[in-house]
Structure 1
């Protein structure tokens, strides 16, 4: 049987996690009202930083991108800047990237706001607490 103290600690941890998720949801809802921010499917939003005029990838495409990923506190957790732009098979990425990149054209540079449900969910990743809304600056360089 669990002690009252251990039950209390578990509930506090659960409460802190829920508060963090709620804070991220509020941040995204506020971001969605800013000028230039547009909706995509499944609660994802984006802002166009630079327009391209090339083709758009499909789910099976290999895309070459430059990107920087941040949490809502502005802390960068990953970036390809300063190196060679990596190539990824689109279908192997997080759902938020799959949805956003299929709408982008080669040459586009977007800031994409992805709710945790379309990113890593409630599971923490290195540098990313579970339940995090993610902000990615993504530049679609090439398809193929």
Structure 2
């Protein structure tokens, strides 16, 4: 005959039951919050450009220019800003709203960009930035490639760039010849 040993369980008090229900409520709230955050990003990226930019422009810290360019100052710089007649030394990463990176400079290797020869929204962003500034910019389609598909960039895309402006100088004579338009 086998012997069964009974282990007595102590009764759970009211404070234990309350703690259990609070724990369950916290887990449910965390799940709902996580679902909302992931769904909200998907909803925003699926919006038409005008609706996305209208919602994005209302976020704290985001400024909108008269042309519709939106930007957020991630790091303030100092001094003057470049003009469209200058060449800027920048680090940048460009991506679509869904997060797909379509172009980026190599880390630690700034790229020389003739300010007046990039897409209008990128040029406008550079002319707002003092040396050593870092901005995140949202370029509406009309300031980028509009209804044209360019490489991995679909037509009517909002372009998102993180840009660090290291330095700038006047464009050397003859540098503008043969430079491709756009980024």
TM-score, normalised to structure 1, is 0.82
Aligned to 1:62: 87
> How many residues align structurally?
125
Give the CA deviation at 1:81.
3.4
**More divergent stretch after superposition (91-100 vs 81-90):** 81-90
Q: Note the C-alpha offset of 1:52.
A: 0.8
- Given candidates 111, 128, 135, the residue that maps to 2:136 is 111
- Is 1:30 equivalent to 2:55 in the alignment? yes
Match for 1:126 among 151, 157, 163?
Answer: 151
Q: CA RMSD in A?
A: 1.7
Tell me the CA shift for residue 136 of structure 1.
Answer: 0.6
Q: Work out whether residues 145 and 155 of structure 2, in 8 Å CA contact, stay in contact via their aligned partners in 1.
A: yes
Q: Deviations over 1:5-51 (max 9, x none)?
A: xxxxxxxxxxxxxxx99622211111101000001131111000001
Structure 2 runs not aligned, ≥5 long: 1-44, 170-183
Q: Which has the higher contact order (CA 8 A, sep 6+)?
A: 1
Bigger radius of gyration:
2
